[in-house]
Structure 1
Amino acid sequence: MLEVEPSPINEKDLEDLKDRMKLIVEADPKQYHNDFSLRRYLRAFKTVDATFQAILKTNKWREQYGVSTLADSEAIKLHGNKARVLRHRDCVGRPVIYIPAKNHNSNDRDIDELTKFIVFCLEEACKKCFEEVVDSLCIVFDLAGFSTTCMDYQLVKNLIWLLSKHYPERLGVCLIINAPGIFSTIWPIIRQWLDENTAKKVIFVDNEIDLCKYLIPDILPTDM
């Protein structure tokens, strides 16, 4: 099983970032990020200045987007068959988000409402992380029954944007299972939107034996 190891960070940079965050948290406790979060942002955005600005932007986005109230949104009720945060974890303890592509029709969706649902799933999965052990997620795209109407490029772009800007370094592995031949013409388009580090986390799984390297197949839903 290939794993992309988290890149090391400069501990002095972390201390500088914590000092900056302390100043704004004293004025507004809602700005708080724990050390695990600060490390993820620092790995993603490299410099203290860029990281600090990225955190402020995320905090502002979370408030304006109403992330804390999404559980009460109609979007959650409407799109429950589009994705699910599973009860069980993958083989290294990561929470799993399962996405059955066959349940999606790109011609019959409200992109804003569906994006809210994706944010809700990311939030629920992140809450399940035991950050002291593993603070990343496993996302499974099941392409069984996939057709071109299931392919939603804008939704994929939105997910990539969310993971890069507001959930940096949260993706541990993305498994693509049951991919049909037609997906080979779609993947190169998606691949160009990913940075090298993220692309390495995308794994095409061709059989159950290989899938067992990442998770127990029996944990995947059969009722979606």
Structure 2
Amino acid sequence: MSQDEPSNVNVNDLQDLKDRMKLIVEADPKQYHNDFSLKRYLRAFKNVDSAFQAILKTNKWRDQYGVSTLGDSDAIKIHGNKARVLRHRDCIGRPVIYIPAKNHNSNDRDIDELTKFIVYCLEEACKKCFEEVVDSLCIVFDLSGFSTACMDYQLVKNLIWLLSKHYPERLGVCLIINAPGIFSTIWPVIRQWLDENTAKKVVFVDNEIDLCKHLIPDILPTDM
């Protein structure tokens, strides 16, 4: 099965999860998750009990983190050059988050504020999903102009944690473009933080012909 074809979930498991969520939502409508979201949690967490607990944890996190009001945060204005949700989509219709590595410096940032900005980008990208067709995202790391000073390990860890705990099965593909030779010494460190399913979604793109298999190069920003 390709990365573009998510595995099916057991119909009985889905109904069981819906029944459990119904009781929660009747008490608090803000807890609602649609069927697409429930399926993502079931695929990621494998069984109904784990998926249900993960959803409750995500809902609590979203409330405590203030996800719905992040758009009003100063972090959005300050970190606008760190990542961008693109206007155009990849070749199968996924929203694209573009991250230019050269604009990052782990010695010159507030990790909490930057993480808020990344959450905001994830939220904006998810809103652009046509879930009936495709409900996953394309994340592009552009390593042009990359140096070791740009390598923010903590931010990468935070992104991996967010995708695994609170945006499960949202990552469709992660494209790494323009990677310099030095990145080959960094990738093994990052790779060990990824589970097998996520690691399979990471694609190193070496040339424009291969990039065109995923997206039209002209959609990538030139002003960041």
Give the deviation of 1:193 after TM superposition.
0.4
Instruction: Establish whether residue 120 from structure 1 lines up as the match of residue 120 from structure 2.
Output: yes
Give the deviation of 1:4 after TM superposition.
5.0
Matched residue, 1:48: 48
- 2-structure distance, mates of 1:44, 1:64: 23
Instruction: Establish whether residue 111 from structure 1 lines up as the match of residue 111 from structure 2.
Output: yes
Secondary structure, aligned partner of 1:173:
strand
Give the deviation of 1:120 after TM superposition.
0.1
Letter in 2 for 1:19: D
| CA deviation string 1:118-159 (max 9, x = no partner) | 000000000000000000000000000000010011100000
- 2-structure distance, mates of 1:193, 1:144: 23
Matched residue, 1:33: 33
Matched residue, 1:24: 24
Letter in 1 for 2:35: D
Give the deviation of 1:7 after TM superposition.
2.0
Give the deviation of 1:9 after TM superposition.
1.2
The within-5 A match list for 1:167-206 is 167-206=167-206
- 2-structure distance, mates of 1:144, 1:136: 25
Instruction: Establish whether residue 92 from structure 1 lines up as the match of residue 92 from structure 2.
Output: yes
Whether the aligned pair in 2 keeps the contact of 1:4 and 1:200 (CA below 8 Å) is: no
Secondary structure, aligned partner of 1:91:
coil
- 1-structure distance, mates of 2:200, 2:4: 7
- 1-structure distance, mates of 2:79, 2:9: 38
Whether the aligned pair in 2 keeps the contact of 1:175 and 1:205 (CA below 8 Å) is: yes
- 2-structure distance, mates of 1:50, 1:197: 18
| CA deviation string 1:44-100 (max 9, x = no partner) | 001100000000000000000000000000000000000000000000000000000
Question: Normalising to structure 1: TM-score of the pair?
Answer: 0.98
Give the deviation of 1:6 after TM superposition.
1.3
Whether the aligned pair in 2 keeps the contact of 1:4 and 1:201 (CA below 8 Å) is: no
Whether the aligned pair in 2 keeps the contact of 1:97 and 1:138 (CA below 8 Å) is: yes
Give the deviation of 1:203 after TM superposition.
0.1
The within-5 A match list for 1:130-169 is 130-169=130-169
Gaps of 5+ in 2: none
Letter in 2 for 1:130: F
- 2-structure distance, mates of 1:153, 1:223: 25
| CA deviation string 1:149-197 (max 9, x = no partner) | 1001110000000000000000000000000000000000000000000
- 2-structure distance, mates of 1:125, 1:47: 27
Matched residue, 1:222: 222
Count residues with an aligned counterpart. Answer: 223
Question: Normalising to structure 2: TM-score of the pair?
Answer: 0.98
Whether the aligned pair in 2 keeps the contact of 1:175 and 1:202 (CA below 8 Å) is: yes
Matched residue, 2:208: 208
Letter in 2 for 1:121: C
